[in-house]
Structure 1
Amino acid sequence: MRDLSAPAVARFRRPRPPGVLRVVSFNVHHGVGADGRLDLERIARVVETADVACLQEVDRHWSERSGFADQASWLAGRLRARLVYGANLHRDPPAPGRPRRRYGTAILTRHPVLEEDITWLPRRPGHEQRGLLRALVAVRGVRVQVFTTHLQNDDAGERLDQARAIGPLVASRAGPVVLTGDLNAGPGTPEVGALTEVLADVWPRAGQGDGRTCPAGGPGARIDYVFTSPGVAVAAAAVVPCDASDHLPVFADLRVGT
């Protein structure tokens, strides 16, 4: 794993500075790290300094791979955070009387949540359903629209359809907007371009290093992002090294107004 222990990275291991909204986007790979070991506590330790943790690939009673655990609720309890969950996949329980199996994205925050919803994104036959999860979060008197998503991994055309659907959805919201997620697309692709028509990528403004996040052990691709609406200042942004997932997390310290 690369040594990324620069001051910008060390910043995100400490409590956030006053007046900052710290956001992290992290594909947690259902809690299985680069070493193949399932350990949700490692995920919690990585994101615990964030005010808003936007997570992808989160299981709720999904399968044996995560011990049929409710990972979203466990993380919310461990972090003492409010939970907003979006199940992109629903399945029948493994046995009568057991909880339904769900897989999707989560937003965890210690700030009050005023609204929440999920919007299904376009998909082609036979492909996994994807969604755009939203939470309206009250941050010191400011209403911040927080979104997270996880786009199709193996079909660039479908990803572009999904990104084009997301653009108007985020642009129509009043106030500061933060969009996070695993886009499965690199900078300069049409998919990312469809989003940067309405939002700004934090990395060119404040990122340190190349921003690559995947695979965690030797990142060769930048596919995980934090975007904001105009007017949201970026104090710092960094990819933080860890072995908790097959991706690395992207942190950003934002100033959303007073």
Structure 2
Amino acid sequence: MRVVSWNIHWGCGKDGRIRIHAIIDVLRKLNPDVICLQEVAANHPELEGSATASQFKQLGGALGGYHMIEHAPSEIYRNNLPRQFGNILLSKYRITQAQRHMLPWPAAPEHPPGMPRGMIETVLDAPGGKLRLLTTHLEYYSPPQRRAQVARIRELHAEACARAAIYQPETTLDPPFQLGFRPGSAIYCGDFNFTPDGEDYRALTAPPADGALALLDAWKVRHGDMARAPTAGLHGYPWPARADCYDYFFVTEDLAPRIAEVNVQSETAASDHQPIVLDLA
């Protein structure tokens, strides 16, 4: 099972031009089973390169064979047209459930207002059994907002683990109540906008106090103390000031033995972030 996570920067390269086809070409070469993308835009002419097209439709149409779940936490209307900015999850595996979580966005007067953030959660019929796969893009400019979002992710994870221990599919219920099995086993990925030495990283990976499955950094599980490959700051982009890691895969402890590889695709300059790839045996 191969999963790719990538903040695509709405397809805008360092020359200020949008080339969604370059993003699609990289993804096709990587040939993942599941694709998780952040910073997908629609009807945003003011973004660098003028992101007027619906990239949700472009990506969904070009990547045939995948089922797409989209979530645009930022949806602002102008002339009755939605200007959207958010995330996509595309899967070759059967999706049995999907939830779109809005993450906390508390007022933080001492910081820029930021924008709404969300997380896509799916249950997949994957090799080895059902698992949850979630992708998100956390706040960058406001540490208090990002801290609240990390806390909410841990709450949602604890809730899922607790429900998995209690509830089983019940086909005699009315259809909206037929949730099916939602396992504790999970992969969380995306642009978390914190570095490995940061407080928020430590908060997300702290041992659970509620019986939930622990969340482990897949890079550390696979590579130990080996220097971490940066996921941003390459190829001459103005941000960030130095190359560092902002994008991750976190897996529940039961999936750790299945991690075959975790790597960063450093070659492409199609975005100001690099694709990260997780292979599960």
Task: Give me the TM-score of the superposition, normalised by structure 1.
Answer: 0.83
| Percent identity over paired residues | 30
Unaligned runs of 5+ in 2: 108-112, 161-182, 207-213, 237-241
Q: 1:201 aligns with which of 217, 239, 243?
A: 217
Aligned residue in 2 for 1:39: 19
Q: Matches of residues 145-160 of structure 1 in structure 2 within 5 Å? A: 145-160=132-147
Q: 1:213 aligns with which of 217, 226, 231?
A: 231
Given that 2:38 and 2:86 are in contact with CA atoms closer than 8 Å, whether structure 1 keeps it comes out as yes
Aligned residue in 2 for 1:246: 272
Displacement of 1:42: 1.1
| Counterpart amino acid of residue 40 in structure 2 | V
Aligned residue in 2 for 1:229: 252
Q: Matches of residues 29-178 of structure 1 in structure 2 within 5 Å? A: 29-48=9-28, 49-63=31-45, 65=47, 66-80=50-64, 81-93=66-78, 95-96=79-80, 99-125=81-107, 126-140=113-127, 142-173=129-160, 174-178=183-187
Task: Give me the TM-score of the superposition, normalised by structure 2.
Answer: 0.77
- Structure with more contact order per residue of length (Cα contacts < 8 Å, sep ≥ 6): 1
Aligned residue in 1 for 2:6: 26
Secondary structure in 1 matching 2:253? coil
| Counterpart amino acid of residue 42 in structure 2 | R
Counterparts of 2:58 and 2:158, CA distance in 1 = 33
Counterparts of 2:122 and 2:132, CA distance in 1 = 6
Displacement of 1:169: 0.9
* Aligned CA distance change for structure 1 residues 70 and 106 (closer, same or farther; 3 Å): same
- May I ask how many residue pairs the two structures share in their alignment? 232
Aligned residue in 2 for 1:15: none
Structure 1 residue ranges, 4+ long, deviating more than 6 angstroms after superposition: none
Counterparts of 2:87 and 2:45, CA distance in 1 = 16
Secondary structure in 1 matching 2:152? helix
